[in-house]
C-alpha cells in the first residue's frame, strides 16, 4: 500500500485533466437542488487532479518539462472553473477588451506603435541625461567634497526623491510657462524624468564610488595621477561593475515611469491608448498598450536578472 499515493502517474494526470476540462466547459451550470452536486463535482475534479499533481511535482526524477506542463494544466483548469462559475457577461467583456476589429481599423496600430516609439525616446533621452547627471554629482561629491557643494547635492537628491514624478510633471508642465520658459511637453517630460532619475542615480553611483577601497585612490595618487585621473582611470572602472545591477534595475523603473508622461499630453503609449479608448469607447487599446510595455520590459528584466546573477562578490 505504501507509495501508491506518492508515485507520479503522468498519464492518469493527463486523462484527469481532459475529463475535468470537458466537464467544466461542456456542461451548463445547473440550478436548484442539483447545484450541490455540481459544486461537489467541481471540487472533486480539483481534489482528484491535485492527488495526481502533487506526487509528480515533488518527485525529483520527473523531468522539468513535465512539471511545468502539469502546472500549466492546473492553471487552465482554474481558469475554466472561473469561466464556468463567474457570473460574467463574457461576450461583452471580450467585445470591450479583446476587440481585434477595433485594432485593425486604419491607423490605430500605427498610432500605438508611434506611441511606443515616443515612449522609447523619452526613456532614452532621460536615461542618458540622468546617467550623466548622476555620475557628475557623485564624482563632484567625492572629489571636490566641499561642505557647501555637498549640501546642495544632498538637497537635490532628497527633494527629487521625495516628490512623486507624476506630481512634478504636472507642476512643471502647468507652472513653467508662467516663468517665461516654454518647453514642449516632450522636453518637459524628459527634463523632469531625468532630474528625478538623476537623483536616484547620484546615490547609486555614490555607493559605487564609496565601495572602492580608499587605498586604490592613494595608490593612484602616489604615482602622480590627478584626483580626476584617479577617478576616471582607477575608481570608476571598478565601480561600474558594482553599480551595474542597481543601475539596470533603475533602468527598468524608468521605462515604466515614461507612462506617467501621459498626464502632460506626451503622445506615448498610455496617452495614445487612452485617446483611442475614448474615441472608440473600447478598452482594447489599453490591453495592447500593456502588451507593448511587456514586449519592451520582458527582455529587459531577463537581461537584468542575468546581470544580477553575475554580480561580483565583494
Partner 1 sequence: MNAAPETRSDTTRAPMIEARGIHKYFSGTHVLRGINARVAHGEVVALMGRSGSGKSTFLRCLNRIEEPSEGDVLIDGTIITDLRTDVNSVRADIGMVFQDYNLFPHMTALENVALGLIHVRKRPRSEAQDLAASALTQVGLADHLTKYPNQLSGGQQQRVAIARSLAMRPKAILFDEPTSALDPEMVHEVLDVMRTLASEGMTMVVVSHEIGFLRKVADQLIMFDDGVVIERGPTARVLDAPEHARTREFLGALK
Residue ranges binding partner 1 (CB under 8 A)? 213, 215-216, 218-226, 229, 233-234, 237-238
Query: By the 8 A CB rule, do 25 and 83 touch?
Result: yes
Cα-Cα-Cα-Cα torsion 158, 162, 166, 167, nearest 10 degrees, comes to -100
Least distance (Å) from partner 1 to the CB of residue 228?
11
Cell 549640501, located at residue: 151
Q: What is the three-state SS of 7-34? A: CCCHHHHHHHHHHHHHHHHHCCCCCHHH
- Indicate the burial class of 96 (C-beta count within 10 angstroms; 0-12, 13-18, 19 or more): middle
Least distance (Å) from partner 1 to the CB of residue 273?
45
Nearer to partner 1, 93 or 218 (CB): 218
First to last CA, the chain: 53
Least distance (Å) from partner 1 to the CB of residue 313?
12
Least distance (Å) from partner 1 to the CB of residue 251?
23
C-alpha closest to that of 127 among 190, 199, 206: 190
Least distance (Å) from partner 1 to the CB of residue 142?
17
Nearer to partner 1, 84 or 241 (CB): 241
C-alpha closest to that of 131 among 64, 198, 42: 198
Least distance (Å) from partner 1 to the CB of residue 147?
16
Nearer to partner 1, 204 or 242 (CB): 242
Nearer to partner 1, 37 or 218 (CB): 218
Nearer to partner 1, 63 or 237 (CB): 237
Nearer to partner 1, 109 or 240 (CB): 240
Distance separating alpha carbons of residues 255 and 266, to the nearest angstrom: 14
Phi/psi for 4 (5° steps) reads -65, -35
Residue 167 Cα to chain centre, angstroms: 21
- Indicate the burial class of 166 (C-beta count within 10 angstroms; 0-12, 13-18, 19 or more): middle
Helix residue ranges per DSSP H, 59-164: 64-85, 90-97, 100-103, 108-143, 147-162
C-alpha cell, 117: 516609439
Least distance (Å) from partner 1 to the CB of residue 310?
15
Least distance (Å) from partner 1 to the CB of residue 237?
5
Nearer to partner 1, 56 or 230 (CB): 230
Nearer to partner 1, 150 or 216 (CB): 216
C-alpha closest to that of 20 among 36, 34, 41: 41
Amino acid at each position: 500500500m505504501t507509495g501508491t499515493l506518492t508515485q507520479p502517474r503522468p498519464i492518469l494526470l493527463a486523462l484527469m485533466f481532459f475529463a475535468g476540462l470537458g466537464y467544466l466547459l461542456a456542461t451548463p451550470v445547473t440550478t436548484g437542488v442539483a447545484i450541490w452536486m455540481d459544486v461537489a463535482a467541481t471540487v472533486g475534479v480539483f481534489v482528484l487532479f491535485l492527488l495526481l499533481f502533487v506526487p509528480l511535482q515533488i518527485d525529483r526524477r520527473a523531468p522539468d518539462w513535465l512539471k511545468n506542463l502539469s502546472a500549466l494544466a492546473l492553471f487552465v483548469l482554474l481558469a475554466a472553473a472561473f469561466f464556468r462559475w463567474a457570473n460574467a457577461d463574457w461576450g461583452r467583456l471580450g467585445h470591450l477588451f479583446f476587440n481585434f476589429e477595433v485594432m485593425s481599423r486604419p491607423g490605430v496600430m500605427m498610432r500605438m506603435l508611434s506611441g511606443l516609439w515616443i515612449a522609447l525616446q523619452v526613456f532614452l533621452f532621460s536615461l542618458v541625461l540622468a546617467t550623466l547627471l548622476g555620475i557628475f554629482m557623485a564624482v563632484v561629491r567625492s572629489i571636490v567634497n566641499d561642505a557647501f557643494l555637498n549640501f546642495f547635492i544632498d538637497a537635490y537628491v532628497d527633494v527629487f526623491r521625495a516628490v512623486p514624478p507624476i506630481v512634478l510633471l504636472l507642476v512643471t508642465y502647468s507652472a513653467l510657462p508662467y516663468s517665461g520658459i516654454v518647453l514642449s511637453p516632450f522636453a518637459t517630460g524628459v527634463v523632469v524624468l531625468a532630474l528625478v532619475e538623476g537623483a536616484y542615480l547620484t546615490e547609486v553611483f555614490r555607493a559605487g564610488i564609496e565601495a572602492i577601497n580608499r587605498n586604490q585612490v592613494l595608490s593612484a595618487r602616489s604615482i602622480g595621477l590627478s584626483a580626476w585621473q584617479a577617478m576616471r582611470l582607477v575608481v570608476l572602472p571598478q565601480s561600474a561593475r558594482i553599480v551595474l545591477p542597481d543601475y539596470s534595475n533603475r533602468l527598468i523603473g524608468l521605462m515604466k515611469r515614461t507612462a506617467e508622461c501621459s498626464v502632460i499630453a506626451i503622445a506615448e503609449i498610455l496617452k495614445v491608448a487612452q485617446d483611442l479608448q475614448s474615441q472608440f469607447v473600447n478598452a482594447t487599446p489599453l490591453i495592447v498598450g500593456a502588451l507593448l510595455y511587456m514586449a519592451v520590459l520582458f527582455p529587459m528584466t531577463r537581461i537584468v536578472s542575468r546581470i544580477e546573477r553575475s554580480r561580483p562578490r565583494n
